[in-house]
Amino acid sequence: MTRGRGSAHSRFHRRLTNWSPDHNHWNDKLYPSWEEGDPRWQNCWKGGRVVAYLTSDSPALIGSNVTFHVALKFPRCQREDNDSNIVYDRKCVNGQYYQTTGGSSAMVSINTTNVTLGNQIMEVSVYRRNYRSYQPVTTANVVYVVTDKIPFYVNISQKNDRNTTDRIFIKDIPIIFSVQIHDPSHYLNRSEISYHWDFGDGSGAFVSNNSVSTHTYTLPGNFSLNMFVQAIIPTPCGPVTPPSPFPTVNVTTQLPFSVSPAFESSTGQAPADGCHIPRYGPYNTSLSIAGLHL
């Protein structure tokens, strides 16, 4: 995979011959790069074009690992055998093969400690071995996000609620709020995590270490729910970049992730004694409470 951050640590399934991401410049003679539209792409693979599908598990909280997965789709009737050779399938008629294991897929994780906040691009280049060099087969790229705000989503539910997306609930019936933190690399496993709630109905704010909270609205009306997650993350002693008090990037992800600067906090400080750093994730949404059963 190419065009990652040279200062970020990586974990590769296999190292490229005569190249190390931490010590060498890219060897264009050994691993040539072709621009889009180069006519050589048309004949680089017998039987048609190979397509690479590149995905990531971003957004990634800065300091955590972000993982990329690439899988190759071969031309019709081509597949990979048990020895990672690409062969023609005699049983193939009109089908196509999507490879997800073996030599036609790969996964890499990079640490984001020294990656700039915001949208970044990871590009993968796939090569096949020739006599003295490697020939490009296909390329792909994906946008990934590094953020200083804890990524999460909140699932809100109520017993017998027929429409779970309209944000309309019934008074005097408990509402369940379940917070799901997006942390696929388990970066926050050793952190002290707390959840700060204000349901907007005058009942007051409270703090919990449980990711699931229950609240009952006793009056009908429209209410603004404000909540933020705080994580106290152990870190090696030494200078670190302090987090900013509010989100610095707009995070786009398949998760129903909501970021809103609902709570102010004095987070622009270096780690306190004990060598840790705080990270926050704010959340805000509006709820409609009805007085009658719908």
Please determine, for residue 291, whether its predicted confidence score (pLDDT) is greater than 60.
yes
**Could you give the CA distance from residue 2 to residue 172 in angstroms, rounded to a whole number?**
56
Question: 277 with 242: CB under 8 angstroms?
Answer: yes
66-89 confidence digits (pLDDT tens) = 999 999 888 878 777 766 667 777
172-189 confidence digits (pLDDT tens) = 999 999 999 999 999 999
Residue carrying the six token digits 């190979």 = 50
Write down how long the chain is: 294
How many CB atoms sit inside 10 A of residue 177's CB? 20
Percent of the chain with pLDDT over 90: 46
Tell me the sheet residues that pair with 275: none
Question: 115 with 62: CB under 8 angstroms?
Answer: yes
26-42 average pLDDT score: 84
Burial class of residue 85, CB neighbours in 10 A (0-12, 13-18, 19+): exposed
34-56 average pLDDT score: 87
Separation in Å, CA 34 to CA 49, 209, 261: 14, 52, 44
Of 47, 24, 290, 2, the closest CA to residue 169 belongs to 290
- Mean pLDDT score across all residues of the chain: 78
Most confident segment among 44-48, 136-140, 192-196, 249-253: 192-196
Tokens of 228: 């933020």
86-131 confidence digits (pLDDT tens) = 777 766 654 433 333 346 788 989 999 999 999 999 998 888 887 7
232-259 confidence digits (pLDDT tens) = 999 887 655 555 444 333 333 333 333 3
**Could you give the CA distance from residue 70 to residue 180 in angstroms, rounded to a whole number?**
26
Tell me the sheet residues that pair with 17: none
124-149 average pLDDT score: 89
pLDDT of residue 83: 67
Model pTM greater than 0.85?
no
Beta strand segments in 130-211, E: 134-147, 152-158, 168-170, 175-181, 192-198, 205-208
Please determine, for residue 149, whether its predicted confidence score (pLDDT) is greater than 90.
yes
